[in-house]
Structure formats: structure tokens, C-alpha cells
Amino acid sequence: MDIIIKVKRFVIQVSFFLLFLWSPYVSAQITLLEKPPFHSGEIIKYAAFYQWGLIEINAGDVQFLVDSISKDGLSTYHFTGIGISKSKYDWIYQVRDTFQSIVNANTFQPIFYERHTSEGNYTVHNRSLFQKESGKIVLYLENSEEGFSMKHLAWQDHLLDLQTAVYYARMLDPTNAHIHEEYTFHIIIDGEPFDITITYEGKENIKLSKGKNYSCHRISTEVIEGTIFSSHQRITIWVSDDGRQLPIKVEAPIIVGKIKAELIE
């Protein structure tokens, strides 16, 4: 039961995390699309699953929303990601996660990021202020296990928050990528910077649970070992090759079974 509870706690959060792993800063062979493939008012939705043998549970839903706003005279995007556990499982473990970012629409430089997470008795309230002029990133970090803290990171170009990375990734054109090429990108997760390397694995046609087929680029990355991942396991992500760069499907083995997310709308 303890393992199952841990899986339920992380399935929405990890599924959300996996959706952005097509690197936003890679080699010159990956170029940017001429125009962003998303627009204000777009909503995309995913189903998050836990699978163990023949047992598969649709544990929750994830959705991403785009808005365009003006902030301090700048044209910006407002990105929102929401993860919610299915109501029929709330009595076991309730998940309510919200991620928000504001980013300069011309440079795609993050300006503001926040995360509000409620997973059972565990809560997180994080906020990041990207202040290029003062050469720092200010982080306000709070969770129910460690309390509140504040820290500063020295400014780094191309260091993205989680939510912004989801959308910058979709602006890449992987047409000229070669099989087995590796790329590294830089991101802040819960106040800590990480370098994550991914591998391009070519094109593949996939069929989702509801029967719809997609032509995709397939990529993978080694997991960050932790609570539900063992070492030397790989996450696989399929990204549409239709110019919209949508993450279509994600699969990740965990200590018991695997988790996956699939595009539903």
C-alpha cells in the first residue's frame, strides 16, 4: 500500500514533468520554427496512467493553457499547467497541482514562475522571479516538510523554469536531428538547476489507447534516481512531427510498474 500511495502522489507531477523533455537548448542542427506552433486560447489535455502488469489505472488528468497578456509594457505569454487526480481516487490520495509562468513573447526569457501543489498531506508553494537586470534569480521555496526558505541563483542565460520549457520545446524543429545524437538543456526544478541529456531515437508511428494514430519523433532520457525511479532506467517521449510539436505520449518505468501520459484532446 505504501508503494501505491507513493505512485499516486507522484503520477500527476511526474507525468507533467515528463512532457517537456524535448530540449529547449540543443545543437545547431535543431532550428526554431518561424512562428510558435501554439496560440492564445489553446488548451491541450492528457490522461495520466499507472500500469502494473495487466492492471492499468487512469489516475488523473493534466492540461496546459496559453494566454497572451501585457506586463510592464512587454508582450508576454501566460502559460498554465494543471494536474488533478480522478475524483474516485481522491479518498485514497487527492492531487491538485497548478503551475504558472509568464515569459517574454519575443525572447522567450522567463519572467515569473510559480508552483502550487497539494498531494495528500504534502503541499508546495514555490515562486521564482527572473531578474536579468540585477543578475539573479530569486527563489521563494516552501513545502510542508521543510518549511519556508529563500535563495538566490546567479543569472544564467538559457536557464528555464519547468512551465516555460514545455512551450519553448514545441518551438523546435527536429527535422535535421540524427539518430543517437545527444543534447543537453538547463532547467530549475524546486530551486535547483539541472542539466538533463536526451537522445534522439528517430521517427515512429504510434497508436494510443483510444485508437488514434500519430507519426512522431521518439526521444529518451535517463531518469533522475529518486523516490519512485531506479537508476539506469529511461523515459521515452513521442513528439508529433506535424509542425505542432505536441508531446503525444510518455512512458516511464518505476520501481513497481510504469507510468504513462497520453494526449486526449
Residue-wise pLDDT for 112-148, tens only, equals 999 998 888 889 999 999 998 899 999 999 999 899 9
Q: How far is CA 206 from CA 36, 46, 253, in A?
A: 25, 16, 18
Number of H helices, E strands in the chain: 2, 16
Per DSSP, the three-state class of 1 is coil
Q: pLDDT-based confidence at 220, cuts 50/70/90? A: confident
Q: pLDDT-based confidence at 156, cuts 50/70/90? A: confident
Choose between 99 and 177: higher pLDDT.
Answer: 99
Choose between 113 and 56: higher pLDDT.
Answer: 113
Residue 49: pLDDT above 90? no
pLDDT at 232: 60
Write the DSSP symbol of residue 25.
Answer: S
pLDDT at 178: 82
pLDDT at 58: 87
Most confident of 140-149, 161-170, 192-201: 140-149
φ/ψ of residue 8, rounded to 5: -60, -35
Give the largest CA-CA distance in the chain.
54
**pTM of this prediction?**
0.80
pLDDT at 18: 47
Per DSSP, the three-state class of 265 is coil
Contact at 8 Å (CB) between 221 and 169?
Answer: no
Q: Which segment of 84-88, 191-195, 214-218 scores lowest on mean pLDDT?
A: 191-195
Helix%, strand%, coil% for the chain, nearest 5: 10, 55, 35
Residue 79: pLDDT above 80? yes
pLDDT at 225: 53
Question: What number is the average pLDDT over the span 221-239?
Answer: 66
d(CA 16, CA 168): 15
Question: What number is the average pLDDT over the span 35-47?
Answer: 90
pLDDT at 148: 94
